[in-house]
Structure 1
Amino acid sequence: MPSSSDRRATPPGGRLSDAALAALPAEIAVPGYERRTVTPGIVHLGVGAFQRAHQAVYVDDCLAAGETGWGIVGASLRSSGTRDALAPQDGLYTLAVRSGGGERLRIVGSILSLLVAPENPSALLDALSDPRTRIVTLTVTEKAYLRAADGSLDAAHSDIAHDLANPDAPRTVHGFLVEALARRRASGTQPFTVLTCDNLPANGATVRRLMIEFAGLRDADLARHVKQDVAFPSTMVDRIVPATTDADRARVAQSLGVEDAWPVMTEPFCQWVVEDNFPMGRPAWEKVGATMVDDVGPYEDMKLRLLNGAHSAIAYLGLLAGHETVDRAFGDPAIRRFVDGLWSEAIPSLPGDAGLDTRRYTTELAERFSNPALAHRTAQIANDGSQKLPQRIVNSALAALEAGRPADHLALAFAAWIAACEARGRSLPDRHFTDPLDEALGAAATRTLAPDAAVRAVFDLTGFAAASPHRDALMRSVASHLSSLRAGGPAAAFCTLQQAGTTE
């Protein structure tokens, strides 16, 4: 790999690739290692923008430090889009770190190859069964884990039934992981570590339980193997990654002098907290900025309830108020005050003895939400609310009610989701954002129901707070805010909060 001093002054044009690296402008950072010497050690399921802006960058740093046995085999479980974009580029892509001070570009080389599971499930099973694969990482989003309303595996799902009947040609993350673990066991190969980077509560323990449940549907002995012999460390990930636009592609190509079909946009901030439980070894992520801990829980709760909870609230209220991006919504003084109120309700639900610096964290969040260079669309954040709100909003609200504290801002955030769903096809474009429960929500026709009936229908559909003694109190509060939102939008809802004396 030529150094920056060896690069020619004038790029040749064409497509980003290994061959094009030497001609990139000197200010573009390139992989600091010989890519041809790297061997795979990680399979990643769910290659998307977030993984390429986060975990792949940490691995890229470790490769540059000489740990060349940890290259990534990326796999998409659904579409071929990422493979089609990156395979002609030898897996290379541009990371564009954007802030008010400008943009820094870096070429990331840690992804060695890309697979598309529906096209060739055998190829992915082979990669997972390869003895060199010691870690399997996941960013497949919450909905891909196919959980029922009570959090257990949705054993009735058609894809689960398919995988049980066709273990050699799975469709789901459960089917691929459990079949690969079965093959490794049969060949005497030690099981890989499963490291989920998705926003699930206690994500390692949650995925472990789901995999044990799925394995148990195949074979009790296989389920015991997954339970006893496979490590599922928890992790907390944090980096804002807005969707890449055609304007982003054009700007990056102008800077590189070559085309990059799928660059990734992100912010300067990046955080990864990982439970240190890797029986087959791991890269030295702590040397490149990750935090290795015994217990991820407090960090995870802080991120879910303060960052993700605020993000969801900003998205739904921003959509209802006509704001297309997070920075514009957060720049709305009324929404800004509301977020402060939401944080004041959520912070007391976090463990007080874990050394969390919530004041510093929310100060950083305010700066990140205000970053105009990201142009993070509120509609992007709004997707999949039924899967995200339990850990982002509902758990905080129930904790507040259990302690006798107010939860009005949290309840309003929940009501804003319902109101935004109802607004699609009316004040918002149809399918402006989507949710796995859209069909069921549409069948319930909540917009035609009175607020209390609409909220109850949503709670029944989602199973939110099903076992909580505070379910009725939370539903009453959400219904009250939904009534205000229907009558006069966010302005009316904020006025109600002020009249109740709940804002600062």
Structure 2
Amino acid sequence: MQGLNKSTIQDIEQIEDVQRDLIKKELPERIVQFGEGNFLRLFIDWMIQQLNKQGLFNGRVVAIQPTPHGKVVPKLDVQDGLYTTILQGIQDGEEKQEIEINSAISRGLNPYEDWKGFLDLAESDDIEFVFSNTTEAGLTYREEEFPDHTSPLSFPAKLTALLYRRFTSKSGNPNAGLVIIPCELVEENGKLLRSLVLRAAEDWELPEAFVSWVNDHNNFCDTLVDRIVPGYPRDTAAEWEQQLGYQDMLMSVGEPFHLFVIETEEELEDRLPFQKGGLHVKWSDVKPYRDLKVSVLNAPHTMIFSVGYLSGLSTVYEVMEDSVAAEFVDRAIYQEILPNLSADKKEKESFAVSVIERFQNPFVKHQLTDLGLNAVYKYRTRVLPLLNSYTVSNGEVPPAMCFSLAALFHYYKPDSVHEGHFLGKIDGKEYKVRDDQEAMDVFIDFWNKDDQITLKERVNRVLENEKLWGQDLTRLPDMTATIVKFFEEIREKGAKKAVETILNLQVENQK
């Protein structure tokens, strides 16, 4: 079976003529994109593809390899930037599937091998936009020397070097500034990225005129992105290639739902006509949408990973197929989360319906163990604000949120400790726990003292740790007693039976 590239598209019967025409079309490179992973290719590059199909953007993307050991750029080179996007899921109550060849990427570029080629991008009059998704760790500062001949490691340093070359090559032209749209899941990501660029400029002692140009003529946007992208379908790749009629090393699977919120200092819809192209993009203040997403999507994810896994389930879809676990999710969202959100009632309820549909997507294998990575930090930032709001409103702590924390205690039981992580084991099946070292040490100590002090004392020590939670949780009404009770029920009955106890408790409270 032949591979996907520009020389083979004419011979592949399954490719529609309109796709061939777009692939052959000569379009300028208008976007520098830091990152070439599944998410960007099925989110930003998918959006650019939709605009190009409609003749609304007419530009392509140069995808920059973010780390020295990346594996995607060589595959992009082999496939001439082409790859297949597969959107599958439930939308408006119906199954949906869309398959197409994406030609938004013109080429991949490895700056560690071609630093000059990377900097040359800055001199192009066609380049207008910068997108990025280098993970949360990418938006951090690293002290590095000014990159005369070789690429620095960090994303902010690369961006600073690119902007400085553009500033010098364009003689500080105010109209040569770029629109910079980071997609990392960090609050105020645009403002943070600008501060990192300015810090690099200061450390490198770059001219004050450059600093002013960065501040005054480059638009750093805050954003919120939302789409679940499992990526390459390892388990079904052979079946997909048989259906498609060609081999594709970069095919990527995602859900139909997408949301992109961009907070900008200038009007950009004419230059990036996402809405005109029918895409779910909001040019708006990010915070209300972030609060809604974190509360109704991310917080339930953090609540169900341990409950589901301890109940013998592996994916979010399996959780939603299990009547008891699904009821737990439903109660958490509709009884504990939504009533205490300040968002518009219609909007938050509509978003909740879409979240349930996304959780029920049979095509997305969202592993619970993946959701459990850095779970203490996630619980602190996603669930605790909701727990506090519920407690203030109701005078008692919320049962489902507390049960999920008790389940986290059990999930964080170490079977063997290793550098940077430990392994847990449930029913003979091992799983990896990764978190901040301090968080892991707290739970290692909790379980090591199993026979030395009472469960109440051990739980109390964890809950009162303000470094871990940002507050002393023992000050909440009956918090320690509630966690102890749920912890013991999970230990004695198993998580699934214990969940039923919680559901019954909530039913009783409604009578």
Q: Sort the Cα spacing of 1:440 and 1:269 in 2 relative to 1 into closer, same or farther, 3 A.
A: closer
Q: 1:448, CA displacement in angstroms?
A: 2.2
CA contact (8 A) 1:242 1:377 kept: no
Q: 1:129, CA displacement in angstroms?
A: 6.1
Counterparts of 1:362 and 1:22 in 2: how far apart (Å)? 44
1:137 counterpart (131, 137, 142): 131
Q: 1:59, CA displacement in angstroms?
A: 0.4
Q: 1:297, CA displacement in angstroms?
A: 1.7
Written as runs of structure 1 = structure 2, the 5 A alignment for 1:243-258 is: 243-258=231-246
Tell me whether 193-202 or 441-450 shows the greater mean CA deviation.
Answer: 441-450
Structure 2 equivalent of residue 240 of structure 1: 228
CA contact (8 A) 1:91 1:109 kept: yes
Counterparts of 2:461 and 2:165 in 1: how far apart (Å)? 46
Q: Sort the Cα spacing of 1:422 and 1:469 in 2 relative to 1 into closer, same or farther, 3 A.
A: closer
Q: Sort the Cα spacing of 1:104 and 1:34 in 2 relative to 1 into closer, same or farther, 3 A.
A: closer
Counterparts of 2:385 and 2:211 in 1: how far apart (Å)? 30
The answer on 1:193 being equivalent to 2:193 is no
Tell me whether 245-254 or 161-170 shows the greater mean CA deviation.
Answer: 161-170
Structure 2 equivalent of residue 6 of structure 1: none
Written as runs of structure 1 = structure 2, the 5 A alignment for 1:78-157 is: 78=67, 79-99=69-89, 101=95, 103-120=97-114, 123-127=117-121, 130-146=124-140
Q: Sort the Cα spacing of 1:248 and 1:402 in 2 relative to 1 into closer, same or farther, 3 A.
A: same
Q: 1:77, CA displacement in angstroms?
A: 1.6
Counterparts of 1:328 and 1:87 in 2: how far apart (Å)? 38
Written as runs of structure 1 = structure 2, the 5 A alignment for 1:320-359 is: 320-343=310-333, 344-352=335-343, 354=344, 357-359=347-349
Q: 1:328, CA displacement in angstroms?
A: 0.8
Structure 2 equivalent of residue 400 of structure 1: 390
CA contact (8 A) 2:82 2:105 kept: yes
Give the AA of the match of 1:260: D
- Secondary structure at 1:285 match in 2: coil
Deviations 1:395-431 (A, max 9, x none): 3334434555644433443454453343634228898
Give the AA of the match of 1:30: Q
Question: Aligned pair count?
Answer: 477
Structure 2 equivalent of residue 420 of structure 1: 411
CA contact (8 A) 1:274 1:290 kept: no
Q: Sort the Cα spacing of 1:310 and 1:23 in 2 relative to 1 into closer, same or farther, 3 A.
A: farther
Give the AA of the match of 2:283: V
Counterparts of 1:261 and 1:493 in 2: how far apart (Å)? 44
1:50 counterpart (35, 39, 52): 39
Deviations 1:180-219 (A, max 9, x none): 2333333325332221223223443444455455555555
Structure 1 equivalent of residue 273 of structure 2: 284
What's the TM-score, normalizing by structure 2? 0.79
Q: Which has the larger radius of gyration?
A: 2
Structure 1 equivalent of residue 476 of structure 2: 473
Tell me whether 428-437 or 58-67 shows the greater mean CA deviation.
Answer: 428-437
Q: 1:250, CA displacement in angstroms?
A: 0.8
CA contact (8 A) 1:241 1:376 kept: no
**Structure 1: gaps of 5 or more residues:** 1-12, 147-154
Counterparts of 1:227 and 1:253 in 2: how far apart (Å)? 48
Deviations 1:242-293 (A, max 9, x none): 2423333212210121100121112222222323445787321112213332
CA contact (8 A) 1:326 1:378 kept: yes
Q: Sort the Cα spacing of 1:350 and 1:224 in 2 relative to 1 into closer, same or farther, 3 A.
A: farther
Q: 1:470, CA displacement in angstroms?
A: 6.1
Give the AA of the match of 1:22: Q
Give the AA of the match of 2:476: A
Counterparts of 1:123 and 1:477 in 2: how far apart (Å)? 62
- Secondary structure at 1:33 match in 2: helix
Q: Sort the Cα spacing of 1:120 and 1:34 in 2 relative to 1 into closer, same or farther, 3 A.
A: closer
Q: Sort the Cα spacing of 1:44 and 1:411 in 2 relative to 1 into closer, same or farther, 3 A.
A: farther
Deviations 1:434-493 (A, max 9, x none): 5353587258624324666578569869x4543x57685397488545555455542365
Q: 1:51, CA displacement in angstroms?
A: 1.6
Structure 2 equivalent of residue 494 of structure 1: 499
Give the AA of the match of 1:494: V
Structure 1 equivalent of residue 420 of structure 2: none
**Structure 2: gaps of 5 or more residues:** 415-422
- Secondary structure at 2:401 match in 1: helix
Q: 1:84, CA displacement in angstroms?
A: 2.8
Give the AA of the match of 1:46: G
What's the TM-score, normalizing by structure 1? 0.80
Written as runs of structure 1 = structure 2, the 5 A alignment for 1:441-452 is: 441=440, 445-446=444-445, 447-449=447-449
